[in-house]
């Protein structure tokens, strides 16, 4: 993954954005599983829209969104029937 040369700094760690990672891997794997974690400070506020926006922007047809939150799964399903979602 040395091609991930665009990073966001977080302390001493270099963290690729979701967009950066999807650019590199989505075309070379059968399925990409995006694990959605719900937590503070905003919890689920706008999270479904944010996730779907990235998936659509990156045209990730093989993305599967995985979330433990029933309400997040419902929100994603309501907003897009084209994206695979699992709980």
- Could you state, in order of their start, the residue ranges of all structural domains in the chain? 18-79
The model's pLDDT over 10-69, given as tens digits with 9 standing for 90+, comes to: 566 677 788 988 998 999 999 999 999 887 766 778 899 999 999 999 999 999 999 999
The per-residue pLDDT of the chain, averaged, comes to 83
For residue 55, which of 30, 87, 22 has the smallest C-alpha distance?
A: 22
pLDDT at position 76 is 93
pLDDT at position 59 is 93
pTM value is 0.75
The model's pLDDT over 29-43, given as tens digits with 9 standing for 90+, comes to: 999 999 998 877 667
pLDDT at position 10 is 57
């Amino acid at each position: 993954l040395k091609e991930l040369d665009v990073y966001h700094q977080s302390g001493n760690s270099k963290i690729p954005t979701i967009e950066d990672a999807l650019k590199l891997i989505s075309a070379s794997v059968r399925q990409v599983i995006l694990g959605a974690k719900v937590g503070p400070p905003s919890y689920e506020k706008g999270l479904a829209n944010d996730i779907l926006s990235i998936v659509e922007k990156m045209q990730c047809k093989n993305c599967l969104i995985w979330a433990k939150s029933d309400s997040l799964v419902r929100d994603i399903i309501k907003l897009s029937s084209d994206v695979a979602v699992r709980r």
